[in-house]
């Protein structure tokens, strides 16, 4: 086996195991997040006498439904693809490039990964903010002691914290993918140099 063929085979195995690891992470994350959203909706105790704004209830319903749909869609993709990757990873195949599905199914893996980790996480942050507003908003400030925070202040405080966390998450995601792209570019550059060196020797 030539050095070029060995490098391609190693790269194929690496992509296979990376896709497999992503699908496993998607399965766990999406199942947990979807379950959390469903429990939040089912356990939400709404009273007809509480002064809930219509926009708040509509936003909570839409966010919960979208969150569950996004994670379930990612979970379906993961459930359909993971058995094929697991079965192939257990085989001892020399020419993995002809058997591996990561090339034709790569877009599905990446779509599920983005839905679960990026879109789903942002929706989960919004979900927490809406739950906090629904829980604290009905509290009557007149029944609180003078030094206690009002219900709106408690909700605003929680919203500010989640906004900071959301911005931190976006910064981390952008930096992570930038670092990943730079790493892939450096690896490709090193491979091109290696191939150029081999070509000159031959």
Structural domain boundaries in the chain: 3-201
Strands (E), the chain: none
Output the pLDDT for position 146: 46
Mean pLDDT over 45-62 rounds to 79
Q: What are the helix (H) ranges across 44-149? A: 54-89, 96-99, 106-114, 120-136
d(CA 131, CA 127): 6
Say yes or no to pLDDT of 200 above 50: yes
Mean pLDDT over 159-184 rounds to 83
Say yes or no to pLDDT of 77 above 50: yes
Give CA separation, 2 vs 5, 8, 9, 136, 179, in Å.
Answer: 5, 10, 11, 67, 31
Output the pLDDT for position 202: 59
The mean of the pLDDT values for the chain is 77
Output the pLDDT for position 102: 63
- With H, G, I as helix, E, B as strand and everything else as coil, classify residue 47: coil
φ, ψ (nearest 5 deg) of residue 81: -90, -35
Topology of domain 3-201, CATH: Butyryl-CoA Dehydrogenase, subunit A; domain 3 (1.20.140)
Output the pLDDT for position 62: 92
Say yes or no to pLDDT of 143 above 50: no
Prediction pTM value: 0.71
Say yes or no to pLDDT of 144 above 50: no
d(CA 16, CA 90): 11
């Amino acid at each position: 086996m030539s050095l070029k063929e060995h490098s391609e085979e190693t790269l194929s195995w690496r992509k296979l195991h990376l896709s497999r690891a992503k699908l496993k992470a998607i399965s766990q994350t999406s199942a947990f997040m979807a379950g959390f959203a469903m429990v939040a909706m089912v356990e939400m105790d709404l009273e007809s006498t509480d002064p809930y704004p219509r926009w708040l209830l509509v936003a909570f319903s839409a966010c919960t439904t979208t969150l569950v749909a996004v994670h379930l869609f990612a979970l379906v993709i993961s459930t359909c693809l993971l058995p094929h990757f697991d079965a192939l990873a257990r085989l001892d195949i020399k020419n993995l490039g002809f058997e591996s599905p990561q090339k034709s199914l790569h877009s599905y893996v990446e779509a599920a990964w983005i839905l679960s980790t990026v879109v789903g996480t942002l929706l989960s942050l919004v979900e927490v903010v809406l739950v906090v507003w629904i829980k604290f908003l009905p509290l009557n400030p007149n029944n609180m002691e003078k030094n206690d925070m009002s219900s709106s202040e408690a909700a605003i405080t929680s919203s500010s914290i989640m906004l900071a966390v959301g911005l931190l998450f976006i910064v981390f995601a952008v930096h992570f993918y930038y670092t990943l792209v730079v790493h892939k570019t450096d690896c490709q550059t090193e491979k091109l140099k290696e191939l150029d060196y081999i070509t000159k020797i031959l």
